[in-house]
Amino acid sequence: MFFQLFFLRVVSLPVWWYGKGLRLVAQWFFEIVKDVSKTFALGVWVKNLFVPMYGDTSFVGRAISFGIRLVMIFARGIGVAILVLALFVLFVVYLFILPLAIVGFFYHLL
């Protein structure tokens, strides 16, 4: 009974890893990106790109506000892009960690 249950769990691990486990990891990564984007307030910065800061409606005030907001959108966008790149690398690592663990197990078994 024990060996049958153990064999069933070992055989079903790859199915879970690349099925439900992969979906859970992908959802978790999307939630992280959504939360960080909300934390960086990218939508608010883009929405207010053409609104003058501090109510200064002069040409210079509008130009400075536009420039500052454009730089902030660019900098925060780079931050989110770096996070997305790091999460993509972690996602690829997740895809390859199970086969590498199996290969390592059999390599050290011999």
Determine the pLDDT at residue 54.
Answer: 86
Nearest to 14 by CA among 104, 96, 80, 81: 96
Give the least confident one: 7-16, 23-32, 82-91: 7-16
Helices 59-109 and 2-18: crossing angle in degrees, nearest 10, is: 150
* 10 occurs within a structural domain: no
* 3 occurs within a structural domain: no
For the cut 80, the answer to whether the pLDDT of residue 2 exceeds it is no
> Sorting pLDDT into bands at 50, 70 and 90, what band is 11?
confident
Global pTM reads 0.77
* 101 occurs within a structural domain: yes
Structural domains counted in the chain: 1
Average pLDDT, integer, range 60-85: 94
Q: Which domain holds residue 34?
A: 16-109
Backbone angles phi, psi at 50, to 5 degrees: -100, 10
